[in-house]
Amino acid sequence: MTLTICNEYSSPISVAIAYYNPNECANAGKWRKVGWYNIAPGVCRVVYNSNLTDVNSHWLYYARTYDRTLEWAGNYNAYVTDQSFRMCWNEPSLDPGFIRAYQVGFRLFDINSYDNYTLRLDR
């Protein structure tokens, strides 16, 4: 029961995911975002290790190459930082502690009713 992301591109990538989590993020958008998962070319990595269908069938991800010349992005904008993070969707707020946060566009994907799902990223 895992969500796995495979890097089928020729360069290393960094990936952030987001998933519905109303218990921990009730007052901050109800979604949890987690990053960064660094994945070498040709490698798959488990990014969520629990029952996927207990969470939601809809998930979000944002990925980019280390040199940021290519990204896998979408229309769901949220703030991230360059350091590892585990935040609710509406975080960070605009306080000075998050001055290095910036927005990226997460992309939506649907795992249907699968308990195990593999997302493959290539060009």
Residue (of 5, 108, 2) closest to 55 by Cα position: 2
Could you give the number of structural domains in the chain? 1
Domain hosting 58: range is: 2-121
104 neighbors 75 (Cβ within 8 angstroms): no
Which pLDDT score, from 0 to 100, does residue 95 have? 55
The predicted-structure confidence for 25-53, as pLDDT tens digits, reads as follows 988 899 999 999 999 999 999 999 987 87
121, amino acid identity: L
pTM of the model: 0.92
Dist. CA 67–CA 45, nearest whole Å: 20
| CATH code for position 32 | 2.60.40
Dist. CA 37–CA 16, nearest whole Å: 6
Dist. CA 79–CA 88, nearest whole Å: 10
**DSSP state for residue 52 in the 8-state scheme:** H
Average pLDDT of every residue of the chain: 91
97 neighbors 63 (Cβ within 8 angstroms): no
